[in-house]
Chain A
């Protein structure tokens, strides 16, 4: 979709790029690597996601908690026949480490990259760590796009052999402050070279429509594929926490009420009165409602002009992805053969 497209019509030819390029409504999901060195965890989660999405994001020390590296987890995902999107934050690596890791990621067969600032380390389990932020997420997008399109390292040195060719993505947080600037910041990411965008979780579709209206006014929806972020609510408590404590998240009261209502048969009972089975049944009722809401959100977002797909973030709940994608009528996933 830009003048830098290579001769086969694709920047990289990744499955995600092919699906988006062909005009299908794309589905990506998220896979959180474990806080240990067990590759079987990745394989298990990959099995839950395979066939239900076009590519899967491997988070990079998400919420600043040490986890298996996104690139290694991505390599395992590839072995499992699923396409990875590697997340890369600017928090933990300087420009040398970032570029070096990306050369390795490409050599391992990874083709999609999501460039992020990264959650500040004070949130995580190593709050006394030093952060890096040598470059920021927009600069990272530019560095990676230049590696691909101009075949240069950040310092300007030219590649002598194979350059890494990534389908480069970035995040957008439509509801974070200052809200008026958010579409323009998205424009900066597009200008820097982003080909796709995955947004922060959307629960307030009306507010998102306001954001998208401005995005369309700026013509950005024609320059970049925008995947709206969605995620199933697990409980009313989670919904309230997201509303009150997570920056850039709007959760309408009507959704919190729906979640609360789903647990109504068990309402009014004290903790001691609820049996183990009661709690299990209540959790299942909440989860069913959360999945139902998520499906509705996808259906509403699909109608918004300029939304090219959804990014499903079902953290530590990967088995919710299939019923969501299925419920939204997005199965089977399209197969677009490489040109």
Chain B
């Protein structure tokens, strides 16, 4: 899932500025599961903004609404009226949600209430960790299902570097060395020979380095007739 964290209230207040009518939009998918921007958080942020503006002497009209997914047009249509009544929309979606609202409602000012952090999973209650860097050319098949692009601090393909000690990374004792994990897993599966292969330089074109990415599936496209 996409994991995000809420911005602090001071930054949110600055982003909202002097807008009088504020619509806080939550998202019912990833950011609900990571407790950053679901219906509950949207209601809390709306109440906090209302209270803060009252304390500042100019009470704003802050409402909230949550859609199933901010990243699909059809769900955004459901809040079209509320959006048009707002001076500013504070999206508690991930960066995709913020941009979807801006694209779908081009005459509305939209600001983010979250920092989109990474693609990951909850490892235990209250802890989320990164697992995927969306590089577009998956290497998990040669690394025992542990991603060195996302989880090695240097994204090495022929690790581990000399900074691996007692299973953790040189940058921080709380960060596991991805290559120690890869080594341990390949060792336990009797597949250490995979580690002896020289991995060539990666093709980063499929990652962000190749420019903004887009997938077109001809088999799913509608014909001109179907579209009309």
- Kindly count the residue-residue contacts between A and B in the assembled complex, taking CB atoms under 8 Å apart: 96
Contacts of B200 in A (CB 8 A): 139, 142
Q: Which of B157, B163, B172 contacts A119 (CB 8 A)?
A: B163
**Given A119-B170, A247-B164, A177-B156 contact (CB < 8 Å):** no
Contacts of B155 in A (CB 8 A): 133
**Given A91-B154, A136-B156, A120-B184 contact (CB < 8 Å):** no
**Given A90-B154, A178-B160, A184-B196, A247-B184 contact (CB < 8 Å):** no
List A130-145 residues whose CB lies under 8 Å from chain B. 131, 133-139, 142-143
Q: How many residues of A contact B (CB 8 A)?
A: 35
Q: Are B157 and A117 in contact (CB under 8 A)?
A: no
Q: Mark A271-309, 1 if CB is under 8 A from B, else 0.
A: 000000000000000000000000000000000000000
Interface presence of B165 (CB below 8 A): yes
Which residue on chain B has the smallest CB distance to residue A135?
Answer: B201
Give the interface size class of chain B.
20 to 34
Stretch of A19-27, A185-193, A202-210, A313-321 lying at the B interface: A185-193
Q: Which of B157, B162, B198, B204 contacts A176 (CB 8 A)?
A: B162
Nearest CB of chain B from residue A190's CB, rounded to whole Å: 11
**Given A122-B171, A178-B183, A138-B163 contact (CB < 8 Å):** no
Q: Mark B182-219, 1 if CB is under 8 A from A, else 0.
A: 01100000000001101111101000000000000000
Q: Are A139 and B201 in contact (CB under 8 A)?
A: yes
Interface presence of A181 (CB below 8 A): yes
Contacts of B162 in A (CB 8 A): 117, 171, 173, 176, 200, 247-248
Nearest CB of chain B from residue A100's CB, rounded to whole Å: 16
Nearest CB of chain B from residue A115's CB, rounded to whole Å: 11
Nearest CB of chain A from residue B201's CB, rounded to whole Å: 5
Nearest CB of chain A from residue B139's CB, rounded to whole Å: 13
Cα of A236 to Cα of B166 in the assembled complex, Å? 24
Q: Are B154 and A117 in contact (CB under 8 A)?
A: yes
Q: List 26 A-B contacts (CB under 8 A).
A: A117-B154, A117-B162, A117-B163, A120-B154, A120-B163, A122-B172, A133-B156, A134-B201, A135-B202, A138-B199, A139-B158, A139-B201, A142-B198, A171-B162, A176-B161, A177-B166, A177-B177, A178-B164, A178-B184, A181-B160, A181-B183, A185-B158, A191-B198, A247-B162, A248-B164, A248-B165
Please give the residue numbers on chain A whose beta carbons come within 8 Å of chain B beta carbons, in ascending order: 90-91, 95, 117-120, 122-123, 131, 133-139, 142-143, 154, 171, 173, 176-178, 181, 184-185, 187-188, 191-192, 200, 247-248
Q: What 6 A-B pairs are tightest by C-beta distance, nearest first?
A: A173-B162, A138-B158, A247-B165, A136-B156, A117-B161, A177-B164
